[in-house]
Structure formats: C-alpha cells, structure tokens
Structure 1
Amino acid sequence: MTKTNPGRFFEDYAIGQVIRHAVPRTLAEGERALYHALYPARHALYSSDEFAISCGLDGSPMDDLLAFHTVFGKTVPDVSLNAVANLGYAEGRWLLPVWPGDTLRAESEVIGLKQNSNGKSGVVWVRTRGLNQQDEVVLEYVRWVMVRRREEGGDAPEPVLPTLSGTVAPQDIVVPEGLNFDAYNTDLAGETHRLGDYTVGELIDHVDGVTIEEAEHMLATRLWQNTAKVHFDATNRDDGRRLIYGGHVISMARALSFNGLANAQMIVALNAGAHANPCFAGDTVRAWSEVLDKAPTAVPGVGAIRLRLVATKGRVDGFALKDAAGRYLPEILLDLDYWALMPE
C-alpha cells in the first residue's frame, strides 16, 4: 500500500468539493526580512512600525503579497502539483491585515471544471480562502489552473464555467480598521504623488530592472512551501528548465512599481491576472503600470487606485501589451489588475 501522494489530477476534482490544505504556517518577522531581501520592496507601511502607527495601525503588518504567497503555497499540493500552468486570478480581496505571529491556513472550493479537447488535461477553478488562528478570513481569491489528467482520453465531466466579476467593486474594498492618512508623511514614504495627482489612462514606466536568479527563485518558492514540480524538477519540462513561480514575478514587479507608485501602499483587491508567458532564470524583469480607475473608500482621506501592473522581460520600448490578434506579446510575463490604497 503506497503512502506517498502523487497529487490530484483532473479526474480527482468535483464541483462543490472543499479541500482543507495541510500544514498551517506561523509567520514571523524573519519572513518579512527575507521577503525584503528577495525583492526591492520599499513601501513604507510594510517597512516601518512607526510609519504604520502614524497611519493609525498598531504596527507594520506583513506585506500583502507575503500573505498571498503563504496562502497560495498551502494550496499547491492539492490544486497545482500536477499543473501545466496557472492561468489566472479573479475576485481577490484582502480582508484583514496579517501580523507577525499570525498562523495562516487555507481551504479551497472547486467552482468550475472543463476538460480540454486534447483529452490530456483540463481547467480547474477554485475559490481559496486564507484564515488566521482565530478562523478569520484574511484573504480570498479565485484562480484557475490547467491540470494534467491521470489517464488521457477518459470520460469528460460536464463543463461548469463559473461566472466571475470583472472587477472588485470599490464599495467591496475593505480598509483595515484604524487606517487613516491624516498625518501621512510623503517625505518618509518616498514620493509626493497622491491620488489626485494620477489620471485614468496614465502610463508609468517604473524604469528599473532586476535579473531573475535561480538561487533566489528557489529560496522564495521554498519559503512559500510551494511544491509545484515545474518549479523544482528540471526533468518535469521538455525543455529541461525550471519555471519561475509566477508569484515571484508578481512580487518583483510590485516592488519595482515603487518608483512612480510609492504611495500605493496596500494591495486590497485583485481584479484579474494572467501569467502571459513563462519566466526563466536569466530573464531581466521590468515593469510598467496603467491607471485604470480611481475611487473613494468609506474612510475619508483614504482613496483607492486601480492599476494594471505589467511585467516584461528584456528591453521593451513603449507600453505594447498584445498583438493585432489580441495575443500577449512574447515579452509580456504578467498582466495584473489590482486595487491599492493611497492617500487622497
């Protein structure tokens, strides 16, 4: 009798199935330091207790994407261990800050299934929730993944395609309790640009680039306890290359966006996202953003800015995203649509 776990295949999912993921994770200050060592992350609210206290919080919470990666990593052995690709995200919301000392766990519900026509794989949609030690939901999101079949050409389940919102409505954005920007210090934050200084349709080149290193990617992926085979096992892909975890690209691009968006302090919603092309060690990641929308929140002085964050590889001139047929250009790595909180 085998005791090892080969991971779930497409045939192992059913609509309504709830998967409670193993190995809760307690986050400590060391993880914040390591996150900031892996990425050029400099947003002040996540860097300084004193800055966060001046903004009405009890101290500096853990980085929003650090919390996301921790929850995401919990889901990998059950959702994407046998994935061909992670295809997209929707309806993501950060509902509570995560503090040093919090213990996070995750659970996912299967909300969609569709077998691919080749009979070799299918797409699985799951809604994942991250919970803390008080069983409070700290974040939630939908993602969909292409997963291999255990046996090719088997019976296909009746397709179920979930209906997903194109964007999180501004009124559904959750502002952390106590947060206010009445005493916001733009000198310490790094830029003077507030919400009113940005216009819808504005494009921002974040200027800097970072070359992805194999060692840093491996360290980051292990930190999140992400066990997807394509990230670790070079024999798992026909080209013999380890695929860079998409979250590594997200965090790198978000950190690069500080140059031009230093006051977009907290990611609070994830509207959509696509990993457009694979990233490998040696690729140099750059980023640009487009302002898609602006909105007030329920807290006076705290505004929300909706941004498209695009990560590219190599040297790219301009802000091109797709070709005439609507396909992502080969140099596009990431297309992420999110809301962030910013002083008005």
Structure 2
Amino acid sequence: MAKTNPGRFFEDYAVGQVIAHAVPRTLSGGERALYHALYPARHALYSSDAFAAACGLGVAPLDDLIAFHTVFGKTVPDISLNAVANLGYAEGRWHRPVRAGDTLRSQSEVIGLKQNSNGKSGVVWVRTRGLNQRDELVLDYVRWVMVRKRDTDAPAPETVVPDLAEVVAASDLVLPEGLDFTGYDFTLAGEPHRLADYEIGEVIDHVDGVTVEEAEHMQATRLWQNTAKVHFDATFREDGRRLIYGGHVISLARALSFNGLANAQMIVGLNGGAHANPCFAGDTVRAWSEVLDKAETSAPGVGAIRLRLVAVKAGGVPGALRGEDGKYRPEVLLDLDYWALMPV
C-alpha cells in the first residue's frame, strides 16, 4: 500500500468538505528575522517592542503577513499541491495579533467547485481559518485555486460558485485590543503622513524596486512550508521554470509600499486579490498603491485606509492596471485590495 501523498485532485473535493491541515507550527523571533531579511520590511509596529508598547500592544507582534503565509502554507498539501495557479482571495480578516511563541494551525472548508470547459482542471473555493494554541481565531479568508484533474473522464461535479462580498465592511474589521495611536511617534515611524493626508483616488508610486533572486524565493517558499510543485520542481512546468510563490510577491510589494505608506501599520482586512501574471526569478518587482476608501474606527487615534496594492515588473506604470480589453496589463503581477490601520 502506498504511503506517500500525491495530493488531492479536482475530483477529490466536495462542497461542505472540511479539511484539518497538518502540521501545527510554533512561531518565534526567528521568523521575524528571516521575514525582514527576505523583504525590505520595516513598518515600526512590527520592528520595535518599544514602539508597539507605546501604541498599546505590549511587545511587537509578528508581521501580519507572517501569520498569513504560515496559515496558507499549512493548506498547500491538501488544497494546492496539484494546482495550476492560485487565482484570488476575498473576505479576509485578521482577528488578533500573533506573537512569538504562538502556535498556528489551519483548517479549510470547501465552499465552491466549477470544472473548466477543457475538462482537464477545475476551480476549488475554500474558506480557511487559522487558529492559535488556545483555539482562538487568528485570521480567516477565502481563496480559489485552479486544480488539475487526476482522471479527465471523471464526471464534473455540480457547479457551485460562492457569493462573496466585494469588500469587508469597515465596521466588520477587528481592531487589536488596546491599540491606541493618540501618542503615535511619526518621527520613529518614518513619515509624517496621517489618514487625513491621503485622498480617495490618489495614486502613490513607491519608487523602489527589488529584483527577485532564485535563492531568495526558494528560501521563502521553504520558510512557509509551501510544498506546491510549481514552486519547487523545475520539471513540473513545460517551460522548465519555477513560479514565484504569490505570497512572496505580496510581501515584496507590501514592504516596498513603506515608501509613501509607512504609517499604514497593520493589515486587518483582505477584500480581494489576484495574481494577474506569473513572476519568475530575474523579474524586478515595483509597486504602486491607490487609495480606495477611508473610515473611522472605535480605537483612539486609529483610522482605516483601504488600499489597492499593485505589483508590476518592467514596463509597469503607476496607475496603469488594465488594457483597453479590460484584462490586466502583461506587466501587472499582483492586484491586492486590503484595509490597513493608520493614525488619524
């Protein structure tokens, strides 16, 4: 009897199926150090215990995307080991900060299925929940993935496409307990801009770029225990190239956004996202953001800003997202719509 796991294929999923993912992971300051080495990440709230304490959080939490990548990575062997591509995200919320010493695990529920017209693959929608060692909800989100079929003759399942919210309502965002920006130190944070300084529709060119190296993205993929074949195995794709893990592009773009959005401190909502075009080693990633909305919150001195974060490679122009045909421009790598917390 075979003891190895070939991963699930499209016909192995059923709507309502709940999957408990192996292996729980205890996070430490090591993940923070590696994260800040892999990306030019320098938001003050995640870099300094003293800054976090002055904002009511005690010791600095781990970067919100560390929690996301960890929870996401747990799901890969069960959801996307045989994926063609990770297609998008919706309805994501961070429910509490993650700190060194916390242990995270993941579970997913299949909420939608649709076979592609070619009969060789299909799209699987899952809602994933990340839980800590106290069974407290840390984050949850929906993502959808294109997955290969094992047997192209297997019958297509009944099509179920979930009805997903376009935006997480600002009133549904979860604010970290104790968060208080009334004494916020803009000098230490790195920029003077507060929520009132940003206008809806404003486009911010983050200026800087990072060239993706093969070694760095492979280290990142291993760090998050993401075992998807398209990221590891150069023989898995016909062109012999390993795809850059989409989360690597997300973290690069988020880190680059510091230049212009240094005070967009905490990601608390993920409204939507698409990996528009593949990224490969050697590509230089740049980023721009568009301000989509602003909102008040109940926390003292804290506002919420809704941002479109776009990662592009060579040829990308700030503000240019789609062509005349309505499709993403070929240089666009990532289109991410999220809420962040910022001093008012």
Q: Which runs of 5+ in 1 are unaligned?
A: none
TM-score relative to the length of structure 2: 0.99
CA distance in 2 between counterparts of 1:119 and 1:317 reads 37
Deviation, 1:182, is 1.1
CA distance in 2 between counterparts of 1:301 and 1:179 reads 9
Name the residue aligned to 2:235. Answer: 235
Contact 2:264 2:305 in 1 (8 A): yes
1:29-77: CA deviations, max 9, x gaps? Answer: 0110000000000000000000000000111000000100000000000
Name the residue aligned to 1:9. Answer: 9
Name the residue aligned to 2:333. Answer: 333
CA distance in 2 between counterparts of 1:158 and 1:102 reads 40
Deviation, 1:154, is 2.0
Deviation, 1:298, is 1.6
User: Does 2:116 match 1:113?
Assistant: no
User: Does 2:292 match 1:292?
Assistant: yes
1:149-175: CA deviations, max 9, x gaps? Answer: 001132101100100000000000011
**Secondary structure of residue in 2 paired with 1:70:** helix
Name the residue aligned to 2:269. Answer: 269
Contact 2:179 2:300 in 1 (8 A): no
Name the residue aligned to 2:65. Answer: 65
Letter matched to residue 329 of structure 1: R
Name the residue aligned to 1:203. Answer: 203
Name the residue aligned to 1:82. Answer: 82
Letter matched to residue 214 of structure 1: E
Taking the TM superposition and a 5 Å limit, the aligned residue runs for 1:210-229 are: 210-229=210-229
TM-score relative to the length of structure 1: 0.99
CA distance in 1 between counterparts of 2:318 and 2:276 reads 18
Q: Which runs of 5+ in 2 are unaligned?
A: none
1:199-235: CA deviations, max 9, x gaps? Answer: 0000000000000000000000000000000000000
Deviation, 1:300, is 2.9
Name the residue aligned to 2:26. Answer: 26
- Of 311-320 and 296-305, deviating more is 311-320
CA distance in 1 between counterparts of 2:109 and 2:227 reads 20
Deviation, 1:325, is 1.2
1:287-337: CA deviations, max 9, x gaps? Answer: 000000000012131000000000001143342110111100100000000
**Secondary structure of residue in 2 paired with 1:71:** helix
Deviation, 1:342, is 0.1
Contact 2:270 2:339 in 1 (8 A): yes
Letter matched to residue 92 of structure 2: G
CA distance in 2 between counterparts of 1:130 and 1:225 reads 15
Paired residues, number = 344
CA distance in 2 between counterparts of 1:97 and 1:338 reads 17
Name the residue aligned to 1:99. Answer: 99
**Secondary structure of residue in 2 paired with 1:32:** helix
CA distance in 2 between counterparts of 1:59 and 1:153 reads 55
